[in-house]
Chain A
Amino acid sequence: GAGVSQSPSNKVTEKGKDVELRCDPISGHTALYWYRQSLGQGLEFLIYFQGNSAPDKSGLPSDRFSAERTGGSVSTLTIQRTQQEDSAVYLCASSSSRPGVGETQYFGPGTRLLVL
């Protein structure tokens, strides 16, 4: 079946511009995560959605970052007034159940963001 998809695959923008990154999770998956990965580094948790519950935004690095999940499916990560340090790969993952015993996350290919 179809996996997690993300768009665009690559995005080059100028400092100060806003960008929107899209994630389409696996159909039926109730949990959705956004991570950021800088070159050669591990994954940095950004935000988590579970069903219709309020998202956990504790990982967002600043108020320039926000995310929405419409209809419990597609999610959009928005970065306002981008800075060069925002350059990274942004990864989305989804899972089929409320996080807990035996949960497995399925990752998308990521969006590579370059802020000039």
Chain B
Amino acid sequence: LAKTTQPISMDSYEGQEVNITCSHNNIATNDYITWYQQFPSQGPRFIIQGYKTKVTNEVASLFIPADRKSSTLCLPRVSLSDTAVYYCLVGFNTGGFKTIFGAGTRLFVKA
């Protein structure tokens, strides 16, 4: 069971780029890396998913080095509304089946 490690919290300012790194040393060959975002009083929301190299969508970018033992979520030019908890998950079964959501990273964006 792949375990992930993320910083507990991060602070940033509006307009800055934020990078949140997740360590997953025991990632398996078939495992994908998925990031979710959770606002207060809401369920988590899928942000981005990748297997290797770089993935980009309209919300974020995900950078995965060749050894895949870590991944970095990049949020360009954050705004106050990006204040949330960000979870990194690793698994072939990226759902709840034998998957553990960690405590996530609490990002606080300041004006």
User: By the criterion CB–CB under 8 Å, are A102 and B95 in contact?
Assistant: no
Q: B76 on the interface (CB 8 Å rule)?
A: no
Q: Which residues of A (76-116) have their CB < 8 Å from a CB of B?
A: 91, 93, 95, 99-110
Q: Which of B30, B41, B44, B93 contacts A103 (CB 8 A)?
A: B93
Complex-state Cα separation, A108 to B43, whole angstroms: 6
B2 to chain A, nearest CB (A): 14
Count of chain B residues with a beta carbon within 8 Å of a chain A beta carbon: 25
Q: Does chain A have a CB within 8 A of B100?
A: yes
Q: Identify which of B11-19, B20-28, B65-73, B101-109 touches chain A.
A: B101-109
**Nearest Cβ distance between residue A88 and chain B, in whole angstroms?**
13
Chain A interface residue count, Cβ-Cβ cutoff 8 angstroms: 32
- Among residues of A, the one whose C-beta sits closest to the C-beta of B85 is A42
Contact check: which of A35, A102, A110 meets B101 at CB < 8 Å?
A: A35
> Whole-angstrom distance between the alpha carbons of A110 and B96 in the complex?
16
Using a CB–CB cutoff of 8 Å, the interface residues on chain A facing chain B are 4, 31, 33-35, 41-48, 50, 56, 58-59, 91, 93, 95, 99-110
Question: Knowing that A100-B92, A104-B49, A110-B42 are A-B contacts, what are 6 other residue pairs whose CB atoms are under 8 Å apart, sorted by A's residue number?
Answer: A34-B96, A58-B98, A59-B96, A101-B92, A109-B41, A110-B41
